[in-house]
């Protein structure tokens, strides 16, 4: 259990039938056993004060571990709120849209799916793991449910027939490099918006986006509204266009840091000397260049 190593153990919420499966000695709350008690609460007679501030922890989520040991990233309320506002400005979804939710909630890309729908009053279509792993079933489900928004990885798109998914109005890819074949097949223009996104967990889901058309080169575009991107050399100086350097991300969605790993947080989340408002930036370790 990764939570046990993060020094943040508090309460585990589960179902009564699952209590015996937990290797955990702390407090456990079985949600189904207190549903009647919750339903009996008279909300009209209770007054509530907000307990959270913009800087309060909202959740923490683990990185994929693709570059080493998985790290728990602590995300504040303001980090996710800024991300949601950014994507509302970019994609302008309406309540008529229908959003596929296929990522596991242990992966922060699921927050993009969930909040794309919730922030716009759209319909969220929750898809089982089994269907997400079967391209034919997923393609049928997208058609049957009249889904209009899909956020996924390029390799999954490559296994489906683009010609049979014409009703998709917004296709977002991320999590891995997008190849030219996928871009050309799905970035068909018209009503469809095709977005190649990029972003580390440490900067809250996605911080860069490229709006692509068939024939375009594959890039990660520019920083989304509410984010700033800097490409720096080894001396932390900005590089000119065309010169490779390390990508650093600034803005309100730069998270607090790693849970229980202060030295690594100090190394990766550093002072930002380039912006008067955004005091911190995250060193991604990824090489980029302006083209």
Task: Give me the CATH number covering residue 92.
Answer: 3.40.50.12780
Residues 31 and 153 in one domain: no
Residues 128 and 205 in one domain: yes
pLDDT per residue over 247-289, tens digit each?
999 999 999 999 999 999 999 999 999 998 999 999 999 999 9
Continuous segment of H or E residues that includes residue 83: helix 77-91
pLDDT recorded at residue 164: 92
pLDDT recorded at residue 3: 54
pLDDT recorded at residue 1: 45
Residues 91 and 212 in one domain: yes
Q: Which domain range does residue 191 map to?
A: 54-224
Neighbours of 103 (CB within 10 A): 20
pLDDT recorded at residue 2: 53
d(CA 223, CA 228): 6
Residue with token string 């997923």: 138
Rg (CA), the chain: 21
Residues 40 and 137 in one domain: no
Residues 41 and 62 in one domain: no
Cα distances from 52 to residues 17, 75, 101, 251, 262, in angstroms, run: 32, 13, 27, 20, 23
Within a domain: residue 288?
A: no
pLDDT recorded at residue 44: 78
- Of 224, 259, 280, which residue is a domain's last? 224
Residue ranges of the chain with pLDDT lower than 70?
1-9, 65-67
Within a domain: residue 118?
A: yes
pLDDT recorded at residue 142: 98
Question: pTM for the complete prediction?
Answer: 0.85
d(CA 3, CA 12): 10
């Amino acid at each position: 259990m990764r939570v046990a190593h993060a020094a943040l153990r508090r309460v585990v919420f589960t179902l009564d039938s699952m209590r015996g499966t937990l290797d955990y000695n702390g407090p456990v709350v079985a949600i189904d056993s207190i549903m009647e008690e919750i339903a009996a609460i008279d909300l009209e007679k209770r007054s509530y004060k907000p307990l959270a501030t913009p800087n309060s922890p909202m959740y923490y989520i683990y990185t994929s571990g693709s570059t080493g040991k998985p790290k728990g990233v602590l995300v504040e309320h303001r980090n996710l709120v800024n991300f949601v506002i950014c994507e509302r400005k970019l994609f302008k979804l309406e309540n008529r849209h229908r959003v596929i939710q296929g990522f596991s909630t242990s992966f922060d890309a699921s927050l993009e799916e969930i909040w794309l729908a919730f922030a716009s009053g759209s319909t969220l279509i929750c898809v089982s793991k089994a269907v997400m792993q079967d391209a034919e079933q997923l393609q049928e489900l997208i058609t049957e449910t009249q889904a209009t928004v899909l956020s996924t990885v390029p390799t999954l798109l490559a296994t489906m027939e683009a010609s049979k998914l014409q009703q998709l109005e917004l296709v977002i890819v991320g999590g891995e490099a997008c190849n030219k074949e996928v871009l050309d097949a799905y970035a068909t223009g018209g009503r469809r918006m095709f977005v190649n996104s990029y972003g580390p967990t440490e900067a809250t889901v996605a911080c860069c986006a490229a709006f692509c058309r068939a024939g375009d080169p594959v890039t990660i575009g520019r920083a989304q509204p509410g984010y700033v991107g800097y490409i720096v050399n080894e001396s932390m100086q900005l590089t000119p266009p065309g010169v490779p350097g390390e990508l650093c991300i600034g803005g309100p969605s730069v998270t607090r840091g790693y849970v229980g790993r202060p030295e690594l947080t100090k190394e990766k989340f550093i002072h930002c000397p380039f912006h008067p408002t955004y005091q911190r930036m995250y060193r991604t370790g990824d090489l980029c260049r302006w083209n």
